[in-house]
Amino acid sequence: ADAVTLQLKWVTQAQFAGYFVAKDKGFYEEENLDVTIKPGGPDIAPEQVIAGGGADVIVTWMAAGLAARDKGVNLVNIAQPFKKAGMQLVCPADGPVKTEADFKGHTLGVWFFGNEYPFYAWMNKLGLSTEGGADGVTVLKQSFDVQPLIQKQADCISVMTYNEYWQLIDAGYKPEDLIVFNYSAMGNDLLEDGLYVLEDKLADPAFEDKMVRFVRASMKGWKYAAENPDEAGEIVVENGGQDENHQKRMMGEVAKLIDNADGKLIIDAYERTAQALLDQKIISKPAEGAYTTAITDKAID
Amino acid sequence: MISAKGLDLTFQTGDGPVHALSNVDLEIGKGEFVSFIGPSGCGKTTFLRVIADLEQPTGGAITVNGMSPQEARRRRAYGYVFQAAALYPWRTIEKNVALPLEIMGISAAEQRERVKRTLDLVNLTGFGKKFPWQLSGGMQQRASIARALAFDADLLLMDEPFGALDEIVRDHLNEQLLELWARTNKTICFVTHSIPEAVYLSTKIVVMSPRPGRVTDVINSTLPKERPLDIRESTEFLAIAHRVREGLRAGQSYED
Amino acid sequence: MISAKGLDLTFQTGDGPVHALSNVDLEIGKGEFVSFIGPSGCGKTTFLRVIADLEQPTGGAITVNGMSPQEARRRRAYGYVFQAAALYPWRTIEKNVALPLEIMGISAAEQRERVKRTLDLVNLTGFGKKFPWQLSGGMQQRASIARALAFDADLLLMDEPFGALDEIVRDHLNEQLLELWARTNKTICFVTHSIPEAVYLSTKIVVMSPRPGRVTDVINSTLPKERPLDIRESTEFLAIAHRVREGLRAGQSYED
Amino acid sequence: MTDRLRDKIIPVTVILAAIVVAWYVGSYAMNAPFQRDLDRRAGVTSTTWEFVVKTMSQPKPTLPAPHQVAVNFVENTFFRKVTSNRSLVYHAAVTLSSTVLGFAFGTVLGILIAVGIVHVVTLDRSLMPWIITSQTIPILALAPMIIVVLAAVGITGLIPKALISTYLSFFPVAVGMVKGLRSPEIMHLDLMHTYNASAGQVFWKLRVPASVPFLFASMKVAVAASLVGAIVGELPTGAVAGIGSKLLSGSYYSQTIDMFAALVAGSIVAILLVSLVGLAGRITERVMGARPA
Amino acid sequence: MNPIALLPWQSVAALLAAIVALAGLPILPDGMAPASTALVFLLVLTGALVPLLRLPTATESFVLFAAAHGPVYLLLSGITGHEGQAGLAFFALVAASWLIAWRLVTVLSLARPTSRPMGTLLRLVVPTLFGVWLLLLWEAIVRGAGIPFILLPPPSLIGVRIANSLPILAADVQQTIFKSVFAGYFMGCAAGFSVAILADRFVFLRRGLMPIGNMVSALPIIGVAPIMVMWFGFDWPSKAAVVVIMTFFPMLVNTVAGLTAAGSMERDLMRTYAAGYWQTLWKLRLPAAAPFIFNALKINSTLALIGAIVAEFFGTPVVGMGFRISTEVGRMNVDMVWAEIAVAALAGSIFYGVLALIERAVTFWHPSVRGG
Ligand SMILES: Nc1ncnc2c1ncn2[C@@H]1O[C@H](COP(=O)(O)OP(=O)(O)OP(=O)(O)O)[C@@H](O)[C@H]1O
Ligand SMILES: Nc1ncnc2c1ncn2[C@@H]1O[C@H](COP(=O)(O)OP(=O)(O)OP(=O)(O)O)[C@@H](O)[C@H]1O
Ligand SMILES: [Mg+2]
Ligand SMILES: [Mg+2]
């Protein structure tokens, strides 16, 4: 079997259920692949891992992928399982922020490590300074939970539809207690989880073939996971995920972002993402050759 | 000055009780120079420490100047010179000598005056600004004597003050100590291991023996108060020394 | 055995040169018991260390057994007894005595035999398995002498070996040392601060004086080889002691 | 026995009890505001006592009450299969293995450096300031990168974490051993010289035994540092296993009780390791004839 | 006699390395003029053979200095722009110049300075050379082996980045060191000290607290960082809180130990003067405890920095050294990460050095200071 190492961008959870399902259900084996899945963490940059040769393919957000490409790590998007963004900003309804116009002078929590780009793009669009003060917003690098809101340390915080949002619900907030700014709904979304490989490696037909098989099996995994969220949740927990109910629920939410599980990149969304990054000077020159549809074209028919 | 009656002191240790002092009777008059001599562990230091209220007797009675030792300590009735100089290394010699004066709350001017006087007394004029480690062992020991003299108590307790010094320096300090004693008329209790030193200095020699620590002999010296160094080669001196040596021998076996 | 001619040794220190030895001439014959006496800092230790090749002279010549000191050290021609016992605390007494033998690569059986013999010699039979801290100071000092004797060098260098002991124990060890010397006919160089000790032990007393360190007097003892302890109250003894004391006085001022 | 009771057990118990009481008060004070918000949103009113009980039984409290931590700890320590991902024993074992490995590397490295410094003048003059500087580098901040970089050259699993522990633990050992190897008095060294002993003989027969107390004292510090290294090294490894990952995943889901239980587990591991090293030290010293305290 | 036997081992090894390099020529496929190649070899040979001349120390050091640093300079400027093309010859020559530098350090370590300032200078130069060579070797290996800069940037790039990012670095230092570290350090040390005095005053407290304190100082306290962030918010107070907790126990334990350091004779002396508790504390026990207290202050200086930086991983405002390190890793700006680390190491060393100087001044009387 051909060995493939996949580096995730975060800890084991249903956000990556498709890959775990594909492995667990033997979809990779069917394609004659031996896949190792490496979980990520708050300080693991998958781009760095792949540049150092620690992985063949990585899951990362497009903003981070393009930023790395800009720095000379020639990453290429080969598939885009997540069609919509899961990120949103939430504020308590009894707090000071009700609409975008209320942001001024308030404190907003954001994750960093590549996840901050959509936020900065949005603020850029609103014309708000992120340096604090009365006319701008104060940015916090928030922790990876919802405490900042519960402890009232921030006026609004970032959550993922499939993860932290539910932690708020668990903490006693009802959906009507929360005001939600969803990046996808606002049209401010930047593409999230996609699969990336190094450009020069892709030039090798054998590697390309391996990736075709990998993407095919992975998408099969995603499809299965979307159809059987409870089973997928259990598989994730068996692979080290925490809190079974939470994972099942997460799988249900993630399924909404996956759409029809064909993994095809929507070119419009790509263009918009690239443009937003350029506007904000997160990348210094227009991205070129940062994606290929060849793999998904061959893998999915 | 000091009067002990049936004094007992037992230390409770891990290996059982140690009888450091057992039934000690002793009278020391004002102005006497008393030497304590005896083999290691016979309770010389312990007896001095009882006088100084650094140790509580477990039996018997002791008075210092007619008071309890604690009372005497509170009234700062004595100066204590330890076996080692025990100077504080972060203070200059001057400051070390001034230490008891500071603690007793004596005015700065008076402190300066007294420090100067006592340093002169022990021949350390000009060394006041040095730190202890910059002085030789003998000089350190003299500084520690100066410190005990600085506040002018009537009673001086000295625990082997010259133990670490060489014989020549020791002779010299012995002479000076005798002179000081003659001049100031203090009462001095002096612990030593050296028979000649004990005989040379004292008006009274207390011979002790260990296990349990007790007084085996008290020898009153017949030597005159005026004592040049070569009195140590006189027959009278040798006779007393012989008696002390015999007293010591009687009190102990040689096996250590 | 040892012959020094115009020996000089100057230490370069931060405060300028210190003349530890200056123009020392000395002849020591085989089988002699030589004591070195003198005030602190007169170079007694330094002289012993030169013999032992622990210090390099800066001038003059010295031979040990006709060889250079370095050569003599390589041949393990002497045993050295330091002022403190300097036993290794992690070794039993036995192992401490065996240390030089181990280093010289002597067979285990022979080691055992020699350790037993030397421990018997210093009256420590049966204490071989104890650790140093389980022994009294005097016993430790005897163990350290045993260690120096274990490899049977003809020359024994002893630097104030009994300095830290009390007078009674000291007397006892002095007797034993004399006996050992008489029995084995070794050459012994012995540093001390005590005049009676020097007179009691030696066939030759070297009086030294400091700044610069030099030999001021060499006194040959007229005492017989057989010396009971109370020889120290004899007139002959006192006469020699007096001469030593005079020699010491002459060589120094009291200011230290 | 009664002495021990008076001098140790009673004071320690009293202070511990005081800490527990303060902890309860603290957890009421810290959990109350959220509970009030929660009640207000849910429209519940409750008596004071009910309210106090509620602050002590939140699923994700700001400061969990001692009994919550205790229950969680006992459950996850004794009532889980040790192979289970939720077993604290399992996580502790993972952390322990990299701690021990890193500690072993660190001790060996520290000793080698100390031997070098004591025997090679060049190293003595040039290395020491850099050893101190090395500890001012926040290696913990570098931990994620180290793990990525090592993964790039194919080193994964236990070793990268252990290397972080090594970095933290070699320092106390090196410093302690330099002191220890230099601790023999001049007189002891001179004695060896009079025997015309070789450098190797001086080293093995004098310097090494003399340095043993220093070695164990610094090993105690080193093993604690090693544990810190292992835990921090686990933070970025993707929350797979180990006490560090337990802390991390606890913090993702605000599972404060889990975090405290993990901290307790970490502390027990620490105490265990330090006492083991202490015990080894005492035994060694006893064998070497040190005077019993 | 065989001249090789007269050479120190570093020189012999340098010669061997040069021979290996000769076999592995050219140094770089392109980018190194024959003249520079020849110069490199010439300098290396000079450096390796100069010990044979038995020159005076000063002259020999000078020659060695040139012979070590000349080649490495040429080699590094040659490789820049041709990363990853280095062959055996390149590394062998770097090794040779490093060996010559080692020889230089050995010569300098053995030198007997003639004057005091000279001695101080030597004491500084020797470790500096060591550090410089650490950086030179790093540069040579990273560039020579062509390690991707996003894994490990060469020191020269880090230097450039530091120079270009001074305002950001200053803001981070301000946030992390001047706010979190200093506040936490002073509060933690002061609290540890005060509790130590209390524990000293009240025997019961000491008996109860010390076993606990000794234990806690071995615990992985850094684990409370996420909890502190949860409690005290994002800004510096939560970092300071972590630092307080980390520094408290070492200070407590050391101070209590230090307060027992005064000898019993010194204490009895105070008793013979019928001195009160505070007089004894102030005039005897605190001075005697000073070395212990400084020990704690020094240990705490490194702990404080680590604590503050790690705490910043769990949530911060968008400034601070820990924040920068973790976000810039995510942005692939690894040179910035190393710039922060260099600044942290520098700040830590200065902090430590200042403490060491104060310690020398305050405990001038202690044998360890007097002797050295
Ligand atoms: N604090 C103590 N606890 C237990 N035993 C003690 C204590 N102090 C002294 N001793 C024991 O009491 C006995 C007498 O001791 P002391 O110090 O008075 O003897 P000494 O005559 O001064 O001896 P040296 O000449 O050696 O100073 C000894 O056996 C000693 O071990
Ligand atoms: N290593 C050294 N460096 C500098 N000066 C030294 C050194 N060793 C000894 N001295 C000095 O040399 C002189 C002679 O010292 P030595 O130790 O030989 O005296 P000593 O006669 O043995 O004195 P003591 O009776 O105090 O042991 C002293 O002034 C001493 O300070
Ligand atoms: Mg005594
Ligand atoms: Mg001497």
- pLDDT > 70 in chain E, percent: 97
Ligand 1 center–CA B210 separation, angstroms: 10
Distance CA C236, CA C224 (A): 10
- Which residue's alpha carbon is at the smallest distance from atom 16 of ligand 2? C43
Chain E CB contacts of D259 below 8 Å = 223, 226-227
- Assess whether B25 and B110 both reside in one domain: no
E353: in domain:
yes
Per-residue model confidence (pLDDT) at position E136: 92
| A44 in reach of chain D (CB within 8 A) | yes
- Assess whether B171 and B63 both reside in one domain: yes
- Assess whether E170 and E261 both reside in one domain: yes
Residues in a beta bridge with C192? C37
Q: In what order do the strands lie in the sheet with A178-182?
A: A157-160, A87-92, A178-182
- Assess whether B71 and B135 both reside in one domain: no
- Assess whether the C-beta atom of B40 lies below 6 angstroms from ligand 1: yes
Ligand 3 center–CA B45 separation, angstroms: 4
Ligand 4 center–CA C175 separation, angstroms: 23
Chain B CB contacts of C136 below 8 Å = 256
Distance CA A165, CA A159 (A): 6
- Mutate which: D185, D188, D191, D207, vs C, most C CBs within 10 A: D191
Per-residue model confidence (pLDDT) at position C213: 86
Domain with residue E292: its CATH number is 1.10.3720.10
- Assess whether E58 and E176 both reside in one domain: no
Q: In what order do the strands lie in the sheet with E316-317?
A: A107-110, A138-141, E316-317
pLDDT digits (tens, 9 = 90+) for A6-52: 998 888 888 898 899 988 888 888 888 888 888 887 667 788 888 87
Distance CA C64, CA C70 (A): 9
* Ligand 2 atom closest to Cα of residue C21: 14
- Which residue's alpha carbon is at the smallest distance from atom 1 of ligand 2? C11
Query: Which CATH number applies to D88-287?
Result: 1.10.3720.10
From the list D190, D197, D210, which residue is nearest C54 (CB)? Answer: D190
Is the Cβ pair D192, C102 closer than 8 Å?
A: no
Does C190 score more than 50 pLDDT?
Answer: yes
Structure tokens that stand for C34 in this block: 């030589």
- Which residue's alpha carbon is at the smallest distance from atom 3 of ligand 1? B11
Task: Tell me the three state secondary structure of residue C26.
Answer: strand
- Assess whether C134 and C170 both reside in one domain: no
- Assess whether the C-beta atom of B251 lies below 6 angstroms from ligand 1: no
Ligand 3 center–CA E113 separation, angstroms: 48
* Three-class SS of chain E: CCHHHHCCHHHHHHHHHHHHHHHCCCCCCCCCCHHHHHHHHHHHHHHHHHHHHCCCHHHHHHHHHHHHHHHHHHHHHHHCCCCCCCCHHHHHHHHHHHHHHHHHHHHHHHCCCCCHHHHHHHHHHHHHHHHHHHHHHHHHHHHHHCCCCCCCCCHHHHHHHHHHCHHHHHHHHHHHHHHHHHHHHHHHHHHHHHHHHHHHHCHHHHHHHHHHHHHHCCCCHHHHHHHHHHHHCCCHHHHHHHHHHHHHHHHHHHHHHHHCCCCHHHHHHHHHCCCCHHHHHHHHHHHHHHHHHHHHHHHHHHHHHHHHHHHHHHCEECCCHHHHHHHHHHCCCHHHHHHHHHHHHHHHHHHHHHHHHHHHHHCCCCHHHHHC
Boundary-marking domain end, from B134, B152, B170: B152
**Shortest distance, CA B162 to any CA of chain C (angstroms):** 13
Structure tokens that stand for C186 in this block: 């070794």
- Region E139-151: mean pLDDT is 83
Residues E263/E264/E269/E275 CA torsion (nearest 10 deg): 100
Domain with residue C41: its CATH number is 3.40.50.300
**Shortest distance, CA E355 to any CA of chain D (angstroms):** 13
Boundary-marking domain end, from B119, B152, B185: B152
- pLDDT band for C253, please (50, 70, 90 cuts): low
Give φ, ψ of A38 to 5 degrees: -105, 120
Residue among C35, C36, C42, C157 to mutate when testing ligand 2 (max atoms within 8 A of CB): C42
Distance CA D57, CA C62 (A): 89
Biggest CA-to-CA distance, chain E? 86
Residue in A173, A168, A162, A181 with CA at minimum distance from that of residue A241: A162
Question: E92: domain range?
Answer: 3-147
From the list A48, A52, A242, which residue is nearest D253 (CB)? Answer: A242
- Which residue's alpha carbon is at the smallest distance from atom 24 of ligand 2? C40
Residues in a beta bridge with B10? B19
Chain B CB contacts of C138 below 8 Å = 256
- Assess whether E94 and E66 both reside in one domain: yes
**Shortest distance, CA C3 to any CA of chain B (angstroms):** 28
- Average pLDDT score over chain E: 85
Number of Cβ atoms within 10 Å of the Cβ of B225: 10
Chains B and A touch (3+ CB pairs under 8 A): no
Tokens 């005077």 found at: D291
Ligand 3 center–CA D154 separation, angstroms: 68
Does E2 score more than 70 pLDDT?
Answer: no
**Shortest distance, CA B256 to any CA of chain C (angstroms):** 7
**Shortest distance, CA D61 to any CA of chain A (angstroms):** 10
Residue in B2, B71, B11 with CA at minimum distance from that of residue B212: B11
Boundary-marking domain end, from C120, C152, C184: C152
B81 vs D247, more confident: B81
- Sequence ranges of the domains in chain D: 2-62, 88-287
E155: in domain:
no
* Ligand 2 atom closest to Cα of residue C36: 21
- Assess whether the C-beta atom of B18 lies below 6 angstroms from ligand 1: yes
In chain D, whose CA is at the least distance from the CA of A238? D85
256 residues of chain B, pLDDT tens digit each? 899 999 999 988 777 788 889 899 999 999 999 999 988 788 899 999 999 999 999 999 999 988 999 999 988 889 999 888 889 989 999 999 999 999 988 999 999 999 999 998 888 888 899 998 888 777 888 899 999 989 888 899 999 888 767 777 788 888 888 888 888 889 999 999 888 899 999 999 999 988 888 898 899 988 888 888 778 878 888 889 888 888 887 766 544 4
Chain E CB contacts of A48 below 8 Å = 150-151, 329, 332, 334
- Assess whether C72 and C99 both reside in one domain: no
- Assess whether B200 and B89 both reside in one domain: no
Question: B100: domain range?
Answer: 85-152
Distance CA D141, CA D232 (A): 9
Ligand 1 center–CA A124 separation, angstroms: 84
In this prediction, the answer to ipTM > 0.90 reads no
Residues in a beta bridge with B7? B24
For chain B, the residue count is 256
- Which residue's alpha carbon is at the smallest distance from atom 2 of ligand 2? C11
Per-residue model confidence (pLDDT) at position C193: 83
Per-residue model confidence (pLDDT) at position D237: 57
- Assess whether E200 and E335 both reside in one domain: yes
Per-residue model confidence (pLDDT) at position B48: 93
Please give the interface size between B and E, counted as residue pairs whose CB atoms are below 8 Å apart.
Answer: 54
- Assess whether C135 and C175 both reside in one domain: no
Residue in D157, D82, D142, D83 with CA at minimum distance from that of residue A36: D157
Q: Are A94 and A66 in contact (CB under 8 A)?
A: no
Is the Cβ pair E223, D243 closer than 8 Å?
A: yes
- Which residue's alpha carbon is at the smallest distance from atom 26 of ligand 2? C40
- Assess whether E83 and E230 both reside in one domain: no
- Which residue's alpha carbon is at the smallest distance from atom 12 of ligand 1? B20
| D141 in reach of chain A (CB within 8 A) | no
Does C42 score more than 70 pLDDT?
Answer: yes
* Structural domains counted in chain B: 2
E153: in domain:
no
- Assess whether B245 and B121 both reside in one domain: no
- pLDDT band for A153, please (50, 70, 90 cuts): confident
Structure tokens that stand for B22 in this block: 């057992």
Chain A CB contacts of E328 below 8 Å = none
Is the Cβ pair A54, D42 closer than 8 Å?
A: no
- pLDDT > 70 in chain D, percent: 93
- Assess whether E143 and E177 both reside in one domain: no
Is the Cβ pair C131, D291 closer than 8 Å?
A: yes
E34 vs A77, more confident: A77
- Average pLDDT score over chain A: 84
- Assess whether the C-beta atom of B214 lies below 6 angstroms from ligand 1: no
**Shortest distance, CA D106 to any CA of chain A (angstroms):** 25
How wide is the angle at C-alpha B64 spanned by C-alphas B62 and B67, nearest 5°?
Answer: 90
- Assess whether C163 and C134 both reside in one domain: no
Distance CA A150, CA D31 (A): 11
E253: in domain:
yes
C66 burial class (0-12, 13-18, 19+ CB within 10 angstroms)?
A: exposed
| D205 in reach of chain C (CB within 8 A) | yes
Does A188 score more than 50 pLDDT?
Answer: yes
- Assess whether B67 and B163 both reside in one domain: yes
Separation in Å, CA D123 to CA A263, B58, D127, E110, E244: 59, 60, 5, 12, 36
Per-residue model confidence (pLDDT) at position E4: 65
pLDDT digits (tens, 9 = 90+) for D125-136: 888 888 888 887
- pLDDT > 90 in chain D, percent: 16
Chain C CB contacts of B136 below 8 Å = 40, 256
- Mutate which: B166, B174, B243, vs C, most C CBs within 10 A: B166
pLDDT digits (tens, 9 = 90+) for A65-76: 888 888 878 889
- Assess whether B61 and B98 both reside in one domain: no
- Mutate which: A6, A36, A48, A245, vs D, most D CBs within 10 A: A48
In chain C, whose CA is at the least distance from the CA of B169? C254
* Structural domains counted in chain E: 2
pLDDT digits (tens, 9 = 90+) for A195-249: 899 988 888 888 888 888 888 888 888 888 888 888 888 888 888 777 778 888 8
